[in-house]
Amino acid sequence: EQIEKGGYDHFMLKEIYEQPSVIKDTYRGRLHANEGIIQMAGVEDNLEKFLNADRILIVACGTSWHAGLVAEYVIEEFARIPVEVEYASEFRYRNPIITPKDVVIAISQSGETADTLAAIKLAKEKGAFVFGVCNVVGSSISRETHAGAYTHAGPEIGVASTKAFTTQITVLTMIALRLAKAKGTLSNSDFFRYLQELEIIPEKVQEALATNEVSKEIAAKFKDSSNCLYLGRGYNFPVALEGALKLKEISYIHAEGYPAAEMKHGPIALIDEQMPVIVIAPKQGHYDKVVSNIQEIKSRSGKIIAVVTKGDTQVKELADHVIEIPETSDALSPLITTIPLQLLSYHIAVMRDCNVDQPRNLAKSVTVE
Can residue 170 be called a binding residue for ligand G6P (CB under 6 A)? Answer: no
Contact 267, 228 (CB under 8 A): no
Can residue 26 be called a binding residue for ligand G6P (CB under 6 A)? Answer: no
Going through the chain in order, the beta strands assigned E by DSSP cover 31-32, 37-38, 55-60, 83-87, 102-108, 129-134, 147-150, 227-232, 254-259, 276-281, 303-309, 321-325
The CB-of-16 to ligand G6P minimum distance in angstroms stands at 14
Q: For residues 148 and 221, what is the distance between their CA atoms, to the nearest angstrom?
A: 43
Stretch that binds ligand G6P, among 47-55, 106-114, 191-199, 293-301 (CB under 6 A): 106-114
Can residue 116 be called a binding residue for ligand G6P (CB under 6 A)? Answer: yes
Q: For residues 287 and 205, what is the distance between their CA atoms, to the nearest angstrom?
A: 21
Residue of 71, 38, 86 whose CA lies nearest to 172: 71
Closer Cβ to ligand G6P, 26 or 113, answer by number: 113
Can residue 161 be called a binding residue for ligand G6P (CB under 6 A)? Answer: yes
With CB under 6 A as the contact rule, the residue among 19, 26, 113, 215 that binds ligand G6P is: 113
With CB under 6 A as the contact rule, the residue among 19, 89, 108, 167 that binds ligand G6P is: 108
Can residue 142 be called a binding residue for ligand G6P (CB under 6 A)? Answer: no
Q: Which of 126, 221, 298, 364 is catalytic?
A: 364
Radius of gyration of the chain (CA): 20
Can residue 63 be called a binding residue for ligand G6P (CB under 6 A)? Answer: yes
Closer Cβ to ligand G6P, 19 or 161, answer by number: 161
Residue of 246, 282, 59, 247 whose CA lies nearest to 162: 246
Closer Cβ to ligand G6P, 159 or 239, answer by number: 159
Can residue 132 be called a binding residue for ligand G6P (CB under 6 A)? Answer: no
With CB under 6 A as the contact rule, the residue among 20, 62, 276, 285 that binds ligand G6P is: 62
Stretch that binds ligand G6P, among 107-115, 257-265, 292-300, 314-322 (CB under 6 A): 107-115
Q: For residues 202 and 305, what is the distance between their CA atoms, to the nearest angstrom?
A: 25
Contact 221, 305 (CB under 8 A): no
Q: For residues 199 and 184, what is the distance between their CA atoms, to the nearest angstrom?
A: 21
364 included as an active-site residue: yes
> Rounded to an integer, what is the distance from CA 24 to the centroid of its chain?
17
With CB under 6 A as the contact rule, the residue among 110, 142, 293, 342 that binds ligand G6P is: 110
Stretch that binds ligand G6P, among 21-29, 96-104, 108-116, 300-308 (CB under 6 A): 108-116
DSSP state of 332: G
Q: For residues 304 and 226, what is the distance between their CA atoms, to the nearest angstrom?
A: 15
Residues recognised as catalytic: 364
Residues that bind ligand G6P (CB under 6 A): 61-64, 108-110, 113, 116, 159, 161, 362, 364-366
